[in-house]
Amino acid sequence: MKHAVTGLLSGVLMLTASQVIAADDVTLQLKWVTQAQFAGYYVAKDQGFYEEEDLNVEIKPGGPDIAPVQVLAGGGADVMVDWLPSALAAREKGVPVVNIAQPFARSGLTMVCRKETGIESPEDFKGKTLGTWFFGNEYPLYSWLSKLDLPRDGSENGVTIQKIGFNVDPLLQKQADCITAMTYNEYWQVIDAGLSEDDIVVFNYTDEGVATLEDGLYVLEDKLQDPEFVDRMARFVKASMKGWMWARDNPEEAAMIVLDNDATGAQTEKHQTRMMGEIAKLLGEDATLDEAAYKQTVDTLLQGGSDPVITKEPEGAFTHEVSKKAM
C-alpha cells in the first residue's frame, strides 16, 4: 500500500511538472499604456484563461515613445496590438507584419476641435493646427487630409501637424485647433477638463467615410511557417477573446483588473469603467478579420494622389488561419 501511495504521489508530481513545462511563453506588446483599451488581455491573464490554454503571457505596456512594430521586428514580442494603417504602412516599408485576428470591429477615432476656431466642417481645417499621435497613429489622419486635398505643409491652404502626447493639453491650452481623440479616452478627458459639448465640434472618422480598422493582433510573417507557433497564437487568440467577452459582460470588474495592472497609478476607476463601456461598442463577436472592412481600410489608405499612406494593394497582409483555429 505504501508503494502504491508513493507511486501515485510521484505520478501526480510528474504530471504537475509536465504541465508547468508545457506552458508556452507569449509576449504581447500593447499599442498604448495600460488602460481598458486592452482589458481583454489583462482579464484573460487575471481570470486564468491563458493558463487554461497552457500559456504564460507577458503583457508589455506601450506609450507615446514606443512603436509596437519596432518592438515586434526587434524580437521584443511575439505578437503586438496595432492599427491596420500602421501595420500596412510598415509592411510596405519592409517589415512583414501579418494580421492574425481583429478583436475590434469598429473604429473609435474622432477629431475634436474647439468651436471658437470657427471650424464647422472638415474643409475648415485649412490653415489650422491639428494635433495627432505618431508611431503609425498619424496615418488615418494623413489619409483623410489627402482625401480633403489639404497638404501638411503648414501653409494657409494646408494644415500644420503637431505631435501630441497622451493628454489633451494642446487643445485645452489652445496650442492646437483640433486633436485626434478616441471615443473611449481623449474625448472624455476633454469633457472632464471642463469643456462642454457646446464648446467643441467632433468629427467621427466613421461618419466621414474614412474609418480604418484599429486594434488588431499582428505577428511576423515568417513565424507563421511554424505550426507550433500558429497553434500557440490560436490558443492565445482564443483565450484573449474569452477575456474580451468577459470584460464586455463585466465592465466594472474588468476596469478594476486593469487598475490592478497599472503600475503608474495614473488611471482612475471612473475613467476606466467608462472606457470599458465605450470599448464594448467596438468589439466584434469573434476575432475574425472582416474582409470588407479590411478592403475599406486599404482603399482609404490608397487615396491621396501623390502622397498616399500606402502606394499599392498589400498582399498577404492578413490570414484567417489563426482566428479560425482559435474560434
- The 10s digit of each residue's pLDDT in 63-115 is 878 899 999 999 999 999 999 999 999 999 999 999 999 999 999 999 999 99
Residue 11 pLDDT more than 60? no
Under 8 Å between Cβ of 84 and 293: no
Give the end-to-end CA distance of the chain in Å, rounded to a whole number.
46
Residue 15 pLDDT more than 60? no
- Please give the distance of CA 68 from its chain centroid, rounded to a whole number: 10
What type of residue sits at position 168? V
Residue 10 pLDDT more than 80? no
Q: Which residue intervals of the chain bear CATH 3.40.190.10?
A: 24-106+213-326, 109-204
Least trusted range by pLDDT, from 1-5, 19-23, 86-90, 143-147: 1-5
Beta-carbon count within 10 A of 276 CB: 27
Phi and psi at 89, nearest 5°, equal: -65, -40
Its CATH architecture, for the domain 24-106+213-326, is 3-Layer(aba) Sandwich (3.40)
Nearest residue to 193 via CA among 114, 255, 122, 261: 114
Mean pLDDT to the nearest integer, 211-238? 97
Distance CA 203, CA 124 (A): 12
Looking at residue 304, its pLDDT comes to: 64
DSSP alpha helices (H): ranges in the chain? 2-22, 39-46, 49-52, 68-73, 84-92, 139-147, 169-172, 186-192, 227-249, 251-260, 269-280, 291-302, 321-326
Cell of 11: 505520478
Look up the CATH number of domain 109-204: 3.40.190.10
Question: Helices 227-249 & 39-46, crossing angle to 10 degrees?
Answer: 100
